[in-house]
Structure 1
Amino acid sequence: MSLDIHGLNLVGLRNTFRPDEELKLVLKRHWIVYMYLGFYALFLVISSIILVMYHSSVFSFISGDIFSVFLIIYWSAYLLFLYVTWVNNELDLFVITDQRIRGIEQISFLNRTISECSLDDVKEVNAQTKGLLENLFNFGTVSLHTASENSNFVMHFAPAPIDNASIIRNVIQNNKANKIEQPTI
């Protein structure tokens, strides 16, 4: 079985699977989050052009060398912001197997939470799309509510949320059906 799904190499993650566990779905964020990053980058370029164009009239009290240093610091800070935002979006994913669900959430830079629950503990799977953009580009929120109060899984900007929620529900139902068919000894 190939563990390269949608450009995501899951070989390292495969080491954490149980011997009889089968990967069913990997849910990552929709590509629209990269459009937001593109708008942020466009703002960086436009604001830099405006700063350079009006440097002599608005910032006449700042010499050219100091302004250049300011511009470099501005670009560096903004590019760091873009990188951290990209990492936060890129590393969020749900891994659904035939036995459990693992939610990997990049909360902030160097701050990651990995949650896991058995498919038996999932009580509710919801999908939500609201607004024109979410319906037009087919993205939204997929949430899984578990028996525990502290381990609810929420994926914002999920692609095809209704379809993916349906796939997750089917995996859960198949898991429950397999447990009924296999008597415990």
Structure 2
Amino acid sequence: MKALEHAHFGHVDTGALRDTDIIWRGTSQVGDDEVEVLLWAGPSSAPDAGELDDLAACLTGLPALDAAARAALRTYLDGDRSFVDFHLEELEGSGAAGRLVREAAGDEVGTAAFVAAMRLNGVGLWLGGVSDRPPVVLDYVFEPDLSDQILAVGATRHGAVASVDWES
């Protein structure tokens, strides 16, 4: 079956897809921020009510998933500071980078402070069969007006963090 009605996503139809595309667009609230959410599918995708229920639950629990993703980001950056150092060097003196350096008062900017300054820029949900990556991807950015670099946190459809990848 290529179409179904879902309580959260509404009418979900993959029958006319020739390529991977967005089949639903919405927003979710995380703290004071409204975050864009995109549901992706491909021609081989068949909407499954259980899978959609799990993805909707990830959105309902987005504040908790955001907290888990930020913990994974801190661990990732504690192991490799390249993303932090790149941004502090490239954006030296800019708004958030300058503030973090001033607050560090001569010490190294900590990964916890850096992650706290990052913004959740968007959430991608991927129906099964579209990608070999985790089906939930949270994109985090630092000073998005000045940098196109992203740390993408992948999670399972049940909300368990599975990966962190540096993308641009």
TM-score normalised by length of structure 1: 0.22
Over alpha carbons, which structure has the higher Rg?
A: 1
More helix by share: 1
TM-score normalised by length of structure 2: 0.24
